[in-house]
């Protein structure tokens, strides 16, 4: 989650961290925000997922973000 990448045709969604929240945006629209919570097994979970009331926002957008993050090795 902490890897930066530029948005472009293949990676349309951007993510930034502000005050403990990760924000997902696309084309100047804020779509989602969430927190990462540390687990006892040293993994992390996405928690406190909130979807904006923007007409473009969908929970599926988070899947696109995770796909893009996973594409960068």
Model-wide pTM > 0.85: no
Query: Which one has a higher pLDDT value, 10 or 67?
Result: 67
pLDDT tens for each residue of 36-63: 999 999 999 999 999 999 998 999 888 8
- Separation of first and last alpha carbons in the chain: 12
Q: Are 7 and 32 in contact (CB under 8 A)?
A: no
Mean pLDDT check: name the lowest of 14-18, 19-23, 34-38: 14-18
Annotated domain spans of the chain: 14-71
């Amino acid at each position: 989650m902490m890897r930066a990448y530029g948005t472009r045709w293949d990676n349309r969604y951007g993510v930034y961290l502000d005050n403990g929240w990760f924000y997902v945006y696309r084309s100047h629209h804020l779509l989602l925000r969430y927190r990462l919570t540390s687990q006892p097994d040293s993994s992390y979970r996405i928690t406190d997922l909130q979807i904006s009331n923007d007409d473009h926002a969908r929970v599926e957008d988070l899947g696109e973000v995770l796909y893009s993050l996973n594409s960068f090795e």
